[in-house]
Amino acid sequence: MKNFKIAEPKSIEQVSGLLSKGGEKVSLMAGGTDMLSEIKEGVAEPDLVVDLSAMKELPFIRKNRDGMHIGAMTTLADLASDPAIRSDYPGLYEAALSVGTPQLRNVGTVGGNLCQRPRCWYYRDAKFLCRKKGGSQCFATRGRNKYHAIFGGGICHIVYPSDLAPMLIALDAKVVVVAPGGEKVLPLSEFYTLPSKNVRRENILNPNEFLREIRIPPPKKGERSTYMKLKERGTWDFALVSAAVKATAGGNSFNDVKIVLGGVAPIPWRLEKVEQGVMKKKLSESMIKETAGAALQEARPMEENRYKVALVEALLVRSLLSIA
């Protein structure tokens, strides 16, 4: 591993100061479970790593009147074992538990999960100078693309690997971003960006900004949520396709429903057409399939990932019926 210096800030101001310094390549490290692999592979080559682990004020889970506040440095294990999270947002509990393994969840954080880098094998291999790394082509287009995007690809076909992101977007979460001039709060749905906007990054953060907190509104009466993840094998893996669904039930239909997919696009992918199609109607397998079919017309699969279209359809049926 290439050597680097490590900074151990103890306050938000110190983190901000370090990120704004300029002059050298600076990277933020939370748990490090993603970023250390990037350094080992030579994909990331920071001169200075800003380690958030000494930030005593960043791990927290607080239930306030305006909902749940979760600090960026909260570990996934702490998130999954919090009783209020489990009862108020069962889908978030499921999403947190679906990440990696116990060892990773003990160290990996919420902030790191939401800001992790893509897993595309061309991006992760230092030998391929792909678009995302400043090169001129996306090797997945003509290469091996079994795990790549079926929506929103265009010039780069990564899928966003986070399990928390689709669920938190379905739950209408907001993020608190610290910038040198102060803080801003924005919906998590506006945090991620497509390659067409900036192929080098996956979110709107400037290099001198970072994520401090996630806020989820209190659950509405009759609210349900679920997170379902399809993997290629039984043990830990990233999602081939995942579905995060939140709905409020009224009678035997949904008054309100939000569906966000993981594993299919460079950002968490909302299916508004399907939401509209299933809302306020009696749910059945055939009706979901029909609605999904229309929305999936927009998918643009490549040579090896057409199977993902069928997985999306199956997962929509399964997840929607499970909370109906």
Partner 1 sequence: MEKTSKKRKKTFTRRAFLKGLGGSAAGTALASKFLRRGLAAPPQEMEAAPVHSQKTVTFSVNGRTVSLEVEPRETLLDVLRQKLNLTGTKKTCDRGECGSCTVLLDGQPVYSCLYPAIRVEGKTVTTIEGLAYGDELHPVQQAFIDKDGYQCGFCTPGFIMSSVALLNRNQKPTFPEIKTALSGNLCRCGNYVKIYEAVRTASERMRKA
Between CA 296 and CA 298 the distance in angstroms is: 5
Residue 20 beta carbon to partner 1: minimum distance, rounded to whole angstroms: 12
Q: Nearer to ligand FAD by C-beta: 103 or 276?
A: 103
Q: Which does 117 bind (CB under 5 to 8 A by kind): partner 1, ligand FAD, none?
A: ligand FAD
Burial class (CB in 10 A: 0-12, 13-18, 19+), 282: exposed
Between CA 322 and CA 102 the distance in angstroms is: 26
Q: Which does 17 bind (CB under 5 to 8 A by kind): ligand FAD, partner 1, none?
A: partner 1
Residue 148 beta carbon to ligand FAD: minimum distance, rounded to whole angstroms: 17
Q: Nearer to ligand FAD by C-beta: 105 or 157?
A: 105
Asked if residues 256 and 172 have their Cβ atoms less than 8 Å apart, the reply is no
Residues that bind ligand FAD (CB under 6 A): 27-35, 37, 72, 76, 99-100, 104, 107-109, 111-113, 115-117, 161-163, 205, 210-211, 236, 238
Q: Which does 39 bind (CB under 5 to 8 A by kind): partner 1, ligand FAD, none?
A: partner 1
Phi-psi region at 154: left, alpha or beta (left = phi > 0; alpha = psi -120 to 50): left
Q: Nearer to ligand FAD by C-beta: 94 or 163?
A: 163
DSSP state of 217: P
Residue 238 beta carbon to partner 1: minimum distance, rounded to whole angstroms: 12
Helix H or strand E encompassing 211: strand 210-216
Residue 29 beta carbon to ligand FAD: minimum distance, rounded to whole angstroms: 5
Residues that bind partner 1 (CB under 8 A): 1-11, 13-15, 17-18, 29, 32-33, 36-37, 39-40, 48-51, 53-54, 56, 77, 100-104, 106-107, 235-236
Asked if residues 246 and 218 have their Cβ atoms less than 8 Å apart, the reply is no
Q: Are strands 253-262 and 241-250 parallel, antiparallel or unpaired?
A: antiparallel
Between CA 70 and CA 83 the distance in angstroms is: 14
